[in-house]
Amino acid sequence: MKKQVYLDYHATTPVDPRVLEAMLPYLEGSFGNPSSKTHSYGWTAREAVEDARAQVAGLLNASPGEIYFTAGATESNNISLRGVTRQPAGERNHIITQSTEHHAVLDPLRKIEKEGWRLTVLNPDPEGFITAAALREVIDEHTLMVSIMAANNEIGTVQPLRELGEVTKEAGALLHCDAAQAAGKVEVDVEAAGISLLSISGHKFCAPKGVGALYKRKRGNRVRLEPLALGGGQEEGLRPGTLNVPGIVGLGEACRIAREDLEEEAARVGQLRDLLLAGVREGIPDVTVNGPADTARKLPGNLSLSFRSVDGSALIVSLGDLAASAGSACTAGNAEASYVLKAIGTPGELAISTLRLGLGRFTTEDEVHYAVGRIVETVKKLRMGR
């Protein structure tokens, strides 16, 4: 193959041509500000935004009025976590999370802890799961919020949100969920799981970068949030600023496509992932798969592989025609094991020899066969050179 094969769908995804087509009118003639109420340009923009709001709600089994548009999951996470805790810690002064969360959750919570809140950080089991039993051991009448991601961005673990939601509800606490990796790839149902707050990013499922959404429950156990920014009053004052209409339209269209095609696409991508794994295992029998052994409890496109006696940074460099990621954060001359792999007990030698592969909507079978050949060839060469 002459072009690079893209296998990094956890980092970002290409924009679906149908999404781009839906956006284009709002980058051209229909360029109005949805806050303009005195002419058709504004009315047209407002209608497009509300249509998209309904499309996002449809994907999550929410109500349109519970959807707020943001720049992405990082902002949505901060609005959720900081917005709930922008009050003195009262009787409910306790927050629970897990050590494998994205830094967009861990970093705000560490700051909140310094401000006087009590924080419990659970370690997952060796497959990356937080069980209902583990949560029940630490949750109590003082717990205000539990923050557990829907699916992990490195090892693909899809958390048992319904079970965790039941435990959280029993304690009278709120459940926050970073669903950046899960939305549009696996079912995310805020009602079934009893989720109070949820964050998504459009660019993780074929919408453009720079647009996302926050779900905030208004039914039953309603959530009160203090905004982090002021000015303009857009999105009920929760996220002020002129709305990114083209991006929002793109996010809505991506949600519509995902809702219609989710089951079929998940099956196809999962088959490609299994084909990739089978090919690598045939050529390299001692490869280690990180994350859940049961693929039904794993993101369809996720494959985290560790190769004993192979330097992870050298592997990435040698696979220059495969766009993939290492399972470790590497600096010049010093490889540090991924905190996610550390948390699930991966031995250090394997943790720094890890390749994260992400397959998605536009991955082809030919690309998978090519990737298998390149990975097997490269790992064997690197081992021979030791």
Active site (catalytic) residues: 330
* Burial environment of residue 99 by CB neighbours within 10 A (0 to 12, 13 to 18, 19 or more): middle
Locate 242 and state its tokens: 């002129």
β-pairing, 354-358 with 302-306?
Answer: antiparallel
Does an H or E element contain 380, and which? helix 365-384
Distances 32 to 28, 125, 144, 247 between C-alpha atoms, Å: 10, 50, 41, 14
Report the side by side order of strands in the sheet with 354-358.
288-290, 302-306, 354-358, 325-326
Instruction: Report how far residue 112's alpha carbon sits from residue 372's, in angstroms, rounded to the nearest whole number.
Output: 45
- H-assigned helices in 171-213: 190-193
CA torsion through residues 289, 292, 293, 295, sign:
negative
Q: What is the DSSP letter of 6?
A: E
Q: What is the DSSP letter of 85?
A: T
Give residues with Cβ within 8 angstroms of 45, minimum separation 6: 26, 30, 31, 32, 33, 34, 36, 243, 245
Q: In this structure, are residues 80 and 176 in contact, taking their beta carbons and an 8 Å threshold?
A: yes
Helix 365-384 and helix 245-283, axial crossing angle in degrees, nearest 10: 50
185 closest CA partner among 366, 379, 13, 38: 13
The answer for 251, left when phi > 0, alpha when psi is -120 to 50, beta otherwise, is: alpha
SS3 119: strand
- H-assigned helices in 90-146: 103-114, 132-138
